[in-house]
Structure 1
Amino acid sequence: MKPITLALSSLALATSLALAGCSEPAPVKKANSDQVTASLVSGAEQRLDIYYPMDLSADLSHLTDRQRHMVELLIEASEIMDDLFWQQAYAGDKDQLLSQLDDSKVKRFTEINYGPWDRLNNDQPFLTGYADKPAGANFYPADMTKAEFEAADFAGKIDLYTLIRRDAAGKLYALPYHEAYRDQLTQAAELLREAAEFAQDPQFKQYLEMRADAFLSNEYQASDFAWMDMTENMVDVVIGPIESYEDQLYGYRAAFESYVLIKDLAWSERLAIYAQHLPELQRNLPVPAAYKAEVPGAGAQLNAYDVVYYAGHSNAGSKTIAINLPNDEQVQLEKGTRRLQLKNAMRAKFDAILVPIAEQLIVPEQRQHITFDAFFANTMFHEVAHGLGIKNLVNASGTVREALKEHASALEEGKADILGLYMVTQLLEAGVITEGALEDYYTTFLAGIFRSVRFGASSAHGKANMIRFNYFEQAGAFSRNADGLYSVNMDAMRSAMNSLSEKILTLQGDGDYAGVGELFDTMGNVGPQLQADLDRLAAAAIPVDITFNQGNHVLGLN
């Protein structure tokens, strides 16, 4: 495969998303007036440049003409997912909102955030006229209380693929996605079926056809199974309602998103050896046997990809650089999961963000241990760790996700981070991982906490990193010198890694909602010292995340 072309631009992006307005919107809650103004809140102008703009491109010359046209069609279907996510994230009229914004940087910042709330600043409004973002986004009626929802009894109440709305009498009911978004999902299904006609891999063809059917039936599990059966396809797409992070009220509703992907064969071959060690890693988790009794399917795959398009939830705020799917617990237990490493986007974050952070916050003598191999492995095994541990409660019926409600996603991210480092430790010492020394992975992991904690408390990843930073600090896993520079204490970090792994896995297996809430309350906040250090990163103009100029025109497909 030829080298990737990944152009990093210093110019703000001007390309706007081709999105439509919201159907059946709930009222947007205003702060003080009925008329939304287009001005920035005080201080918000300092946030407009926190995203590093880059052209998202890759070498497609090895693809056939049929495959290249298939990529075009998949990107068109992904644009529909982007539109649907706008409707889920923002209850107002998107076009009306954007039309009021004359400043191109303000408009672009609004597009990146899919609304007037700053996703990497705890969802605080950056435009005047808006109150705080509803925890339930536009999945629930704006005036619905938790008490009302929990007292109600109706079909589809906790279904991932429904909206909650009120009937003519004001009672709550569930509206399936395939009814709420019928026209757009029909169009997306047609595009997937057309793309299937150009698929050279029969399993990928079948997946596209089954995913198209799922858009119109609201039944996604069968297509998840089909996605797990694919092994040889060069082009891939992750598309549909998938993650539930946007629902911060309960974590019950899945948001629309998409990734269009091109497999990197050389890097995928490097990763294949790790998959055979996953059952042993599950057995060796530092937790009592009951909390690791589930055995994920042995068909788990580790592969590297170049991502050529992000849409919807995956494109909102901080950008995903690795994927572990599907989320369906039954599919995970029977088939395992697929772990997809998005190498080109990962490299961009490493170069533009992680290395500059290390130069500001890590002691000089340990900066040599900040390596891309370590960053790649830590990120990859974070995704591997999502498939390990426990999915169903140990001493009760039901799933961990249902029991922990709105806390489930953030705790799951915390589990994945800490167990990922545990796995790296085990595999490196067993000689399975041969690149670098353990100090590379631990030091890069510490620098990675500073990167992710900047995502803010509204992000599941940000919350997870705050907890880990505070836990590690109390355990002496790192030190901070008089110059404000951090260094890893290897033995103490290993001990903290093991104890935090056990704590999180136990909370999950017990479904301890109150215990998780206490953990977030006591350790899920940024203290004054850490905030001062994060302010140093902002003063040094180090971006918080990346944003994309992307699409068929960037890839040279139109």
Structure 2
Amino acid sequence: MKKTLFSLAPLALVLMGCSEPQTTTQNPDSGQQNNYELVEGAEQRLDIYTPYQLKTDLSHLSNEQKKMVGLLIDASKIMDNLFWQQAFPGDKQKLLNQVEEKAREFTVINYGPWDRLNNNQPFLTGFEDKPAGANFYPADMTKTEFENAELANKDSLYTLLRRNDEGELKTVAYSEAYKESLTKAADLLRQAADLAENKDFSEYLRLRADAFLSNEYQPSDMAWMDMTGNDIDVVIGPIENYEDHLFGYKTAFESYVLIKDKAWSQRLEKYAEYLPQLQEGLPVEPAYKAEKPGANAQLNAYDVVYYAGHSNAGSKTIAINLPNDEEVQLEKGTRRLQLKNAMQAKFDKILVPIAAQLIVPEQREDITFNAFFANTMFHEVAHGLGIKNTLNDKGTVRSALKEHASALEEGKADILGLYMVTQLFEQGVLAEGELKDYYTTFMASIFRSVRFGASSAHGKANMIRFNYFADAGAFDRNASGQYAINMDKMREAMNSLSEKILTLQGDGDYNGVAELVATLGVVSPQLKADLDKLTDAGIPVDVTFDQGKEVLGL
């Protein structure tokens, strides 16, 4: 693998100004204090995010519950700082102090000098390509060196790779590497647990606090699955592995503080009972759908009041399907959380304007929020379908497919989500609107997500699906660059792509997935020209949040 050491002359990054151990490359000229400047062409990227105030009605919460929300936000801020350390091997504050004012907010949104929605290209002078392994591994470590190292827990979700005094690789548990910060976060979670009115939520918070210090997260994941009656929730800790583009092993710190929308949650309850039959009906050979995930799937809607760390970096998540632990999934299923206020923001500010540019006029009326909500929800539900372990003793799908696992999994969730919508609509379970609403909204959403770029698992998954649909004739493009959905061909493509992805996962076919990504995970010149129209029209790529205790009046 090409080494990706930072080229920092005349100014180098220095170690993080914190107590946690970090490994970075330093430059002897690091004493110089020159400012970083935007690289050529980067200035036009500074306005790709549109602001949105993140709040909701808290009037139904007690005073103790409001205090608890404040404590959870404080703990989330610690997760935010820890993610900076994982994503950027340098001193956050020094970087921000030396960035031109007009680029500072963009640097904060990206958690470093690399543009997350432009394939992680550096937008500041003095930086080379972002290391594929972020700051989870030494920047000079090769894949071969890692694979040859005989180290326990080297592929653990919760360890860093560092070098000892002899320059050899060693592992450092998150609980040790970030001990001071995680101890503070654990204390805040325990304070919140003392205020929690829901017993199960209090138990989860205490177990999560223990996990910060023990590096054992499964007990708290199990406890999180047992919660059903809590009005407040928090998803916090090292969770997703998207930041690790080298192997896809290491999890990044993040947090969401959530308030349940009871009315919308009640609307979703009925869908969970159909999951076993949907698993059985997947368009693939029986062996690839033989697993039976836990039946206690929960579907709920929430308003988010705080994002932190990985969840706040670049494109913002609008729905969650967790836990990722395969053992927990098989025993207890997963929880699917729909982030309704963030979803509404993206629909209003991004999806509708995109449709006005790229969907033929006669199909624009088929773009609806209900369809967008349902497609997003069933994307998360679909993560629980299919198969988690390979059929040929290659271990879990995630470990077998390595750095390609996340993109393929997101592609599976997208296409199986549409499959589920189709099945439930035709059974009369999903009764709102018409089926064409879901297909047309799905197509418009591809344009939205492709703009996230190839460094995003979601962006890459959408590139693959767009090109697969194009080859299958699932849509037509007119001379004005507007797209019309062909429902029959899109349905055929949906089924065949579902079968292909599920088979690749079940076989743990690393080379097959790599070929799929290489051939279809690209943006053609024609698609790029169409996407450029969105930029020219001033349509934002994503949202950024004005959030916190002051915004909430706490």
* TM band (smaller chain): over 0.9
Are 1:89 and 2:87 an aligned pair? yes
Q: How far apart in 1 are the matches of 2:128 and 2:419? A: 41
The two structures have a TM-score, normalised by structure 2, of: 0.95
Q: How far apart in 2 are the matches of 1:431 and 1:499? A: 24
Q: How far apart in 2 are the matches of 1:143 and 1:283? A: 46
TM superposition shift of 1:24: 2.9
* CA distance 1:22–1:451, shift in 2 (3 Å): farther
Q: What CA deviation, in whole Å up to 9, does each residue of 1:131-179 have, x standing for no partner?
A: 0000000000011001111111111110000000111111111100000
* CA distance 1:402–1:29, shift in 2 (3 Å): farther
TM superposition shift of 1:25: 3.0
Q: Percent identity?
A: 72
Instruction: List runs of 5+ in structure 2 lacking aligned partners.
Output: 1-15
Match of 1:73 in 2: 71
Are 1:200 and 2:197 an aligned pair? yes
Match of 2:6 in 1: none
Match of 1:516 in 2: 513
- On the 8 A contact 1:29/1:130 being kept in 2, the answer is no
TM superposition shift of 1:26: 2.7
Q: What CA deviation, in whole Å up to 9, does each residue of 1:356-414 have, x standing for no partner?
A: 00000000000000000000000000000001100000121410000000000000000
Q: What CA deviation, in whole Å up to 9, does each residue of 1:512-549 have, x standing for no partner?
A: 00000000000000000000000000000000000001
| Equivalent of residue 365 in structure 1, options 362, 372, 393 | 362
| Equivalent of residue 152 in structure 1, options 149, 161, 182 | 149
- Secondary structure of the 1:42 match is coil
Q: How far apart in 1 are the matches of 2:149 and 2:23? A: 20
- Secondary structure of the 1:554 match is helix
Q: How far apart in 2 are the matches of 1:28 and 1:353? A: 39
Q: How far apart in 1 are the matches of 2:352 and 2:19? A: 40
Give the 5 Å matches for 1:302-381. Answer: 302-381=299-378
Query: What residue identity is the alignment partner of 1:375?
Result: F
Are 1:542 and 2:552 an aligned pair? no
Q: What CA deviation, in whole Å up to 9, does each residue of 1:22-79 have, x standing for no partner?
A: 843333589x999674100001000000001111111100101111000000000000
Q: How far apart in 2 are the matches of 1:312 and 1:401? A: 23
RMSD value, Cα = 1.4
Q: How far apart in 1 are the matches of 2:317 and 2:514? A: 25
Are 1:126 and 2:118 an aligned pair? no
- On the 8 A contact 2:475/2:486 being kept in 1, the answer is yes
Query: What residue identity is the alignment partner of 1:87?
Result: Q
Match of 1:43 in 2: 41
- On the 8 A contact 1:22/1:86 being kept in 2, the answer is no
Match of 2:446 in 1: 449
Q: How far apart in 1 are the matches of 2:196 and 2:246? A: 39
- On the 8 A contact 2:379/2:416 being kept in 1, the answer is yes
Give the 5 Å matches for 1:406-555. Answer: 406-555=403-552
Instruction: List runs of 5+ in structure 1 lacking aligned partners.
Output: 1-18
Q: How far apart in 2 are the matches of 1:90 and 1:26? A: 11
Query: What residue identity is the alignment partner of 1:552?
Result: K
Query: What residue identity is the alignment partner of 1:483?
Result: S
The two structures have a TM-score, normalised by structure 1, of: 0.95
Match of 1:282 in 2: 279
Query: What residue identity is the alignment partner of 1:197?
Result: D
* CA distance 1:423–1:29, shift in 2 (3 Å): farther
* CA distance 1:147–1:22, shift in 2 (3 Å): farther
Give the 5 Å matches for 1:178-189. Answer: 178-189=175-186
Q: How far apart in 2 are the matches of 1:109 and 1:393? A: 41
Query: What residue identity is the alignment partner of 2:276?
Result: P
* CA distance 1:486–1:231, shift in 2 (3 Å): same
TM superposition shift of 1:21: 4.9
Q: How far apart in 1 are the matches of 2:221 and 2:17? A: 28
Query: What residue identity is the alignment partner of 2:77?
Result: E
- Secondary structure of the 1:396 match is coil
- On the 8 A contact 1:378/1:421 being kept in 2, the answer is yes
Give the 5 Å matches for 1:92-131. Answer: 92-103=90-101, 105-131=102-128
- Secondary structure of the 2:390 match is coil
TM superposition shift of 1:466: 0.2
Query: What residue identity is the alignment partner of 2:244?
Result: D
Match of 2:8 in 1: none
Give the 5 Å matches for 1:167-316. Answer: 167-316=164-313
Query: What residue identity is the alignment partner of 1:157?
Result: K
Match of 1:8 in 2: none
- Secondary structure of the 1:351 match is helix
Match of 1:53 in 2: 51
Are 1:396 and 2:393 an aligned pair? yes
* CA distance 1:253–1:434, shift in 2 (3 Å): same
- On the 8 A contact 1:358/1:370 being kept in 2, the answer is yes
- Secondary structure of the 2:550 match is coil
- On the 8 A contact 1:22/1:87 being kept in 2, the answer is no
Q: How far apart in 2 are the matches of 1:25 and 1:210? A: 27
- On the 8 A contact 1:37/1:128 being kept in 2, the answer is no
- On the 8 A contact 1:120/1:456 being kept in 2, the answer is yes
Q: How far apart in 1 are the matches of 2:44 and 2:178? A: 37
Q: How far apart in 1 are the matches of 2:244 and 2:317? A: 17
Match of 1:3 in 2: none
Are 1:25 and 2:17 an aligned pair? no
- On the 8 A contact 2:300/2:336 being kept in 1, the answer is yes
Q: How far apart in 2 are the matches of 1:79 and 1:462? A: 27
Q: What CA deviation, in whole Å up to 9, does each residue of 1:417-438 have, x standing for no partner?
A: 0000000000000000000111
Q: What CA deviation, in whole Å up to 9, does each residue of 1:424-476 have, x standing for no partner?
A: 00000000000011100000000000000000000000000000000000000
Match of 2:62 in 1: 64
Q: How far apart in 2 are the matches of 1:44 and 1:22? A: 34
- On the 8 A contact 2:351/2:448 being kept in 1, the answer is yes
Q: How far apart in 2 are the matches of 1:272 and 1:493? A: 29
- Secondary structure of the 1:277 match is helix
Q: How far apart in 1 are the matches of 2:382 and 2:17? A: 37
- On the 8 A contact 1:22/1:94 being kept in 2, the answer is no
- Secondary structure of the 1:553 match is helix
* CA distance 1:99–1:139, shift in 2 (3 Å): same
